[in-house]
Structure 1
């Protein structure tokens, strides 16, 4: 029997109960309760748009910023709400001098490296190991020093393997050697505990539609005060202004990266997910996801698995070697995953259960038998 899909621990309606959703790495599920709460905002806009939007803008957004800052172990003055990861990184690239030497990962998500390639930065590349999974952090550190790198930009969790970097280790190394450290946390924020005080990143950015379960249209950015001072923003708008000595003045800050008229509805959804994850505990979510990942590793045939059969450096994204026939077979059995090239990507989050993983592994066994 196909496992019932659950959102925030609540069974979904019967019309979707036949689906086994193992695809958060593509897009995280929304919570119906969060939607109902935030849809009240749009209802108010049917009759009193200006009042409704001003209440959210002036009262709720500062509260949401404080909640998110606490979630990240940061200060609200270090947090910006951006449309997505790509927008924020491209803005940051424009603030750089253009002469920095940058270390990038060859098969990282294109949004991480294209802004530097297009703008003709001096790039040093690191490669994935022969197993198609591992990033050798000793080699990474060696290149940082040998090539006299100014800037390391890399994803916390890799989209094409699920490999998880030790941000504390790398961040500490970069801080010691005065190397700027910029992190894409789109495939980790909301599923892996992140505390900015521990990882020493200068900038961390994430789109919210995956593991934060907050839908499209928002991203979050942390920026340290030291990075802000060294690389002040070269973009600005209404959110760059503040009242100073009774006069409205442009004051560059992390909020200079916020476009005017942010997605208020989506930020209300984000706040609902942040509050849920804080109440549940991201450490507990991470432990749950690791348990499901271990179950999958224990039951998947060795020759199908990409990477070692251990949890070391693994997120809850697991890749299986597969052809289109296997993808089609899983789809026919109502299992939602993603196929990329010659692999199938499986990704498990807090709403998944051991029964969901069992459905997948039973299908894999049946496929191999027949």
Structure 2
């Protein structure tokens, strides 16, 4: 694996355990961004070239997540794309959600004309969801693949089984805390819709995200967003707009979507298999130490499947102590959230544990 401290300068002089808040920008992506704007300054806009950047990014996203090109929408962030989806759903549908899921999931649903019901997030999450399906018979299930507060990760094989059992229920996932952490096959998954912002684990910087929508699901959603670029030419008719292009009205941000393309190329160069293996190793190593120190709640401690995000028992005094020791993390949900990506090392866990153990 490449020299990560050189590739990610922010790793130098601090222990960065905050990818769940924002991933780091790599030197390689920064250099591409610099060249992109230098070309703009020196040469002006070549619209033919600029129009190709989002299309190259779309192709990279489709390849990276094994989706079809016409299932991939490029959006500024998850919230933007998710709201477009919800606006295209028939009113009054019963939507099952998870209590205390991310606000960008909860608020857009709760403030619209849907019949909302909830399942609890606990150590038996999959069983709890199954029971909620039997009790509520939802039309739509909306959830995060990885929980932002606790790092609880849903079993993807369970989601596939759920889709097989309830083929008519739309399964819609926020994957912001998941994208880029392991290999994922959208076509073979149980998900109908998967979206995410790419500034966290994808390491693509701000202003870019994706929405993947399977063909069968496209027939159940009627997005109304439209504008130039939604159609092929000035002479096109509005009604000729394809499903995916409803998510991309107006001129597209080549700087940010190009950054996502570069981030994907970098992940492929490192290899997603190696990224996933390293994240799992660090996560298991960290979890063992956190259990020994009594820092995890019952849900995180007892689940076999977990991400590399942990919410540790601790107050603001402890958070300030970590910050004073140049350990970068976030106060979240009454605890301290730490997260480990492939640019982290076991030594970062050791540094954290050493500071946590000091009186």
Q: TM-score, normalised to structure 2's length?
A: 0.93
Partner of 2:93: 100
Matched, 1:174 2:169: no
CA contact 2:153–2:307 (8 Å) conserved in 1: yes
Query: Partners in 1 of 2:243 and 2:255 — Cα distance?
Result: 24
State how 1:45-56 maps to structure 2 within 5 Å: 45-51=40-46, 53-56=47-50
Partner of 2:34: 39
* C-alpha deviation, 1:237, in angstroms: 1.4
**Which of 4, 9, 17 lines up with 1:9 in the alignment?**
4
Residue aligned with 2:187, SS: helix
Residue aligned with 2:74, SS: strand
Residue aligned with 2:212, SS: strand
Give the direction of change, closer, same or farther, for the CA distance of 1:14–1:123 in structure 2 (3 Å limit). Answer: closer
Partner of 2:187: 197
CA contact 1:240–1:252 (8 Å) conserved in 2: yes
CA contact 1:153–1:182 (8 Å) conserved in 2: yes
Partner of 1:29: 24
Query: Partners in 2 of 1:106 and 1:253 — Cα distance?
Result: 31
CA contact 2:53–2:257 (8 Å) conserved in 1: no
**Higher alpha-carbon deviation: 334-343 or 21-30:** 334-343
* C-alpha deviation, 1:232, in angstroms: 2.6
CA contact 2:5–2:12 (8 Å) conserved in 1: no
Partner of 1:185: 175
**Higher alpha-carbon deviation: 205-214 or 254-263:** 254-263
Residue aligned with 1:241, SS: coil
Partner of 2:261: 271
Partner of 1:284: 274
* C-alpha deviation, 1:104, in angstroms: 0.4
Give the direction of change, closer, same or farther, for the CA distance of 1:48–1:100 in structure 2 (3 Å limit). Answer: same
Partner of 2:284: 294
CA contact 1:8–1:350 (8 Å) conserved in 2: no
Structure 1 segments of 4+ aligned residues over 4 angstroms from their partners: 12-16
* C-alpha deviation, 1:255, in angstroms: 1.8
Give the direction of change, closer, same or farther, for the CA distance of 1:248–1:208 in structure 2 (3 Å limit). Answer: same
Matched, 1:345 2:337: yes
Q: TM-score, normalised to structure 1's length?
A: 0.90
Which ranges of structure 1 fall in alignment gaps of 5 or more residues?
1-5
Query: Partners in 2 of 1:12 and 1:279 — Cα distance?
Result: 13
CA contact 1:25–1:211 (8 Å) conserved in 2: yes
* C-alpha deviation, 1:135, in angstroms: 5.1
* C-alpha deviation, 1:261, in angstroms: 1.8
> How many aligned positions are there?
354
Residue aligned with 1:256, SS: helix
Residue aligned with 1:187, SS: coil
**Which of 75, 78, 85 lines up with 2:71 in the alignment?**
78
Give the direction of change, closer, same or farther, for the CA distance of 1:259–1:218 in structure 2 (3 Å limit). Answer: farther
Residue aligned with 2:286, SS: helix
**Which of 326, 331, 347 lines up with 2:318 in the alignment?**
326
Partner of 1:215: 205
Query: Partners in 1 of 2:112 and 2:89 — Cα distance?
Result: 11
* C-alpha deviation, 1:16, in angstroms: 6.2
Matched, 1:356 2:356: no
